[in-house]
Amino acid sequence: MYPTEFRYTKEHEWVKLDGGIATVGITDYAQHELGDVVYVELPKPGAKVSAGQAFGTVESVKSVSEVYSPVSGEVVEVNAALGDSPEKINQDPHGEAWLVRIRAANAAEAAALMDAAAYQAYIAEKQKETSSG
């Protein structure tokens, strides 16, 4: 479910580093929590982002979720296809529905994030909280 080559944030973004380019999306857990995604707002290529800061939003019918950048750098590409087909985020959050590609200024930022096993433990804990809450 959660690819081992990704790193994950506590805010439920994933990041995959590929030669200094970080591809970022939201996790399957996040899309599930949001429900049917109806709209995605992304920055323009060239925008500067920094780790931990919001760069866009993902919306369902009755909620808005900010997306935080896992790494600092410059946005080099955004997934324009999501404009017309936001539902892809529900269908393939870890693949086709990536959000942005960022030229990472500091690869160590991503390395410091959770790996797949740690993230799965983290969301298991979350799920326990909600079912008892």
Partner 1 sequence: MSYLPKSDADRQAMLRAIGAESIDELFRSIPAEFRLRVPLKIPGPMAEAEIIGYFRDRAAENSVGYASFLGAGVYRHLRSVVADALLQRGEFLTAYTPYQAEISQGTLQWIFEFQTLICQLTGQEVANASMYDGSTALAEAVLMAERITGRRRVVTARTLHPEYRDVLETYAQHAGLEIESAGYGTSGQADLDALGSAVNDRTAAVVVQSPNFFGAIEQIPAVAEIAHAAGALLVVAITEAVSLGLLRPPAEADIVAMEGQSFGLPPSYGGPFAGVLATREKFVRQMPGRLAGQTTDAAGHRGFCLTLATREQHIRREKATSNICTNQALCALAMTMHLCLLGREGVREVAAQNLAKARYAARALAAVPGVKRAFTAPTFNEFVVRLAVPVDRVNGELLEDKIIGPLALAPFYGELDDCALVCVTETTTRAEIDRLAEGLRHILAREPATAGRAVKRTTGGD
Partner 2 sequence: MSDDRIRKARPHPSQSEGLIFEKSARGKRGMELPALDVPGVDPERELGAGETRGGVEGFPEVSELEVVRHFTRLSTWNYAIDLGMYPLGSCTMKYNPRVNEFIARLDGIATEHPYQPAQLSQGCLRVLRDLERALVEITGMDAVTLAPAAGAQGELTGLLVIHACLADRDGKARKKVLIPDSAHGTNPASVSITGYEVENIRSDATGQIDFDELRRAVNEDVAALMLTNPNTLGVFEERIAAIAALLHERGALLYMDGANMNALAGVTRPGDLGVDVMHLNLHKTFSTPHGGGGPGAGPVAVKKPLEPYLPVPVLAERVDGSLWLDSDRPKSVGRVKAFGGNFGVLVRALAYILAYGPGIRQATEDAVLNANYIRKHLEDDYELPYDTPSMHEVVFSDARQRKSGVTTIDIAKRLIDYGFHPYTTAFPLIVHGALMIEPTESESREECDLFIDAMRAIAEEAACEPEWVKTAPHLTRVGRLDEVAAARRPILRWKP
Q: Which residues bind partner 2 (CB under 8 A)?
A: 36, 38-39, 59-61, 86-87, 133
Q: What angle do CA 112, 10, 127 make, to 5 degrees?
A: 135
Q: How far apart are CA 13 and CA 27, in angstroms?
A: 6
The site that binds partner 1 (CB under 8 A) totals a number of residues, namely 8
C-alpha to C-alpha distances, 56 to 100, 115, 130, nearest whole angstrom: 10, 23, 26
Q: Which one of 57-65, 78-86, 108-116, 119-127 is the stretch in contact with partner 1 (CB under 8 A)? A: 57-65
Tokens 């959770």 belong to 114
Q: Is 62 in the site for partner 1 (CB under 8 A)?
A: yes
Q: Which is nearer to partner 1, 18 or 66 (CB)?
A: 66
Q: Is 39 in the site for partner 1 (CB under 8 A)?
A: yes
Q: Which is nearer to partner 2, 35 or 95 (CB)?
A: 35
Q: List Cβ neighbours of 54 (8 Å cut-off, separation of 6 or more).
A: 66, 67, 68, 69
Q: Which of residues 81-100 bind partner 1 (CB under 8 A)?
A: none
C-alpha to C-alpha distances, 6 to 28, 60, 75, 85, nearest whole angstrom: 13, 25, 18, 24
Q: Is 115 in the site for partner 1 (CB under 8 A)?
A: no
Q: Is 64 in the site for partner 1 (CB under 8 A)?
A: yes
For binding to partner 1 (CB under 8 A), which residues are involved? Answer: 39, 41, 59-64
